[in-house]
Structure 1
């Protein structure tokens, strides 16, 4: 059962060298800004914890993995500054995942839209169920996946990113996402998914943490400019969300 709290929930449990971070929101695990900030701060905190080696990132429940940005908050945006600040939440989260000193494994149990796809792409390794279709619907509401584009393109390439972006009303299957590299593996059941998460994370947790960190730095080479780039992209989205097109699309 999903938490009824409109600001969402965040729970971290630590077992051995593995920290499991679970986020939740009653609106299909979407993200209001306060929850984005909480998750960003939690990952930054865990990054410096010498007692853990691996972070498993998951969402609450057995439905959608993440529905992206909170539509209620998007509708409430009335100035460029407010819009930029809101989309900066996703920029900050992706950058915190990128710079985190721990390997982040994503447990994807269901569909993901928009910013949720960006979060999956920012994981170092993601496994999913066959139910975990993905969609970038931003163009359909008058904006675009500007903030998450670098992370998604890094995983699946510009061609596949373009295909997802322009087919804004089209769900891409988990098999498609696996083929393009967004998912490392896909499974038929939640039980199989959780067994893989447990087995794989335990194996990684027994590796040299310094070696894991050095490899993570290699994985993310060439992304240091994202601190600036993603903030610039947030300003683009912040401007577009003020348009009448977007306001009308969000109301429908």
Structure 2
């Protein structure tokens, strides 16, 4: 696989949304936009009762933001627009009327952790270690923080953010509440995801929609909050300190 994609297929009333990017499943702006559209469409499709969010390949689940786009930021406006891609995707996921099951087969970094946190129920393999590397790159996980904190709590979010260069294990993520279950193999993970998603698809769509609304109570202000956070990240990305730091990672 050499080119990025976002695709959806339906099986037994489950909508499987899969994204891929050759750079460790990073999420440039176009992929973020396509993911957002795919989730909106699945939420409106009567043939889909529940959604599975997954990535292609068998290694990295998601490496987060596109590094090439990050280093190309040259104004506060473009910086805000870049980080708003993650804000819009998280808000789309929380407002989707159907449960979104996360299938995390490998490492999740930065925005990838935010993506997993924005799912309603997340299953992972033992290879799904997580890291928030933003602080080591001279900015911070501002946009995804509300979603991650909602899942694992402020204390654990603090630890993950400050220890920005080290991965936490999938078992750690399970213990803190990000993952519901961790499987020894990707094959076991896929079997569990399929069985669970198809079971959910037999439940009342109206009941699940109402329950999802309850689960995301008190997040209505995220429409504004996450965009405000995007502006913070965008401004920091322009600083001389950040630019010099990013040069070392080119």
Residues 52-71 of structure 1: pairs in structure 2 closer than 5 A = 52-71=48-67
Task: Provide, for residues 182-215 of structure 1, a one-character-per-residue CA deviation record: whole Å limited to 9, x for no partner.
Answer: 0000000011101100110111000111111111
Match in the other structure for 1:92:
88
Aligned length: 248
Asked whether the 8 Å contact 1:54–1:103 carries over to 2, the reply is yes
Match in the other structure for 1:131:
127
Match in the other structure for 1:149:
145
- Whether 1:242 and 2:231 are equivalent positions in the alignment is no
Shift of 1:89: 0.1
Shift of 1:154: 0.2
**Structure 2 unaligned spans of 5+:** none
CA distance in 2: counterparts of 1:9 and 1:208, whole angstroms: 32
Other structure's SS at 2:27 match:
coil
- Whether 1:198 and 2:194 are equivalent positions in the alignment is yes
- Whether 1:4 and 2:2 are equivalent positions in the alignment is yes
Which TM-score applies when normalising by structure 2? Answer: 0.98
- Whether 1:48 and 2:48 are equivalent positions in the alignment is no
Other structure's SS at 2:26 match:
coil
RMSD: 0.7
Task: Provide, for residues 11-64 of structure 1, a one-character-per-residue CA deviation record: whole Å limited to 9, x for no partner.
Answer: 110112100000000000001111101101111111111221111000010010
Which TM-score applies when normalising by structure 1? Answer: 0.97
Task: Provide, for residues 82-105 of structure 1, a one-character-per-residue CA deviation record: whole Å limited to 9, x for no partner.
Answer: 000000000000000000011000
Other structure's SS at 1:90 match:
helix
CA distance in 2: counterparts of 1:77 and 1:156, whole angstroms: 31
Shift of 1:162: 0.3
Moved more, 230-239 or 36-45: 36-45
Pick from 95, 100, 103: which aligns with 2:99?
103
CA distance in 1: counterparts of 2:245 and 2:122, whole angstroms: 31
Asked whether the 8 Å contact 1:132–1:174 carries over to 2, the reply is yes
Shift of 1:249: 2.2
Runs of 4 or more above 4 Å deviation = none
CA distance in 2: counterparts of 1:113 and 1:15, whole angstroms: 29
- Whether 1:81 and 2:85 are equivalent positions in the alignment is no
- Whether 1:207 and 2:203 are equivalent positions in the alignment is yes
Asked whether the 8 Å contact 1:141–1:245 carries over to 2, the reply is no
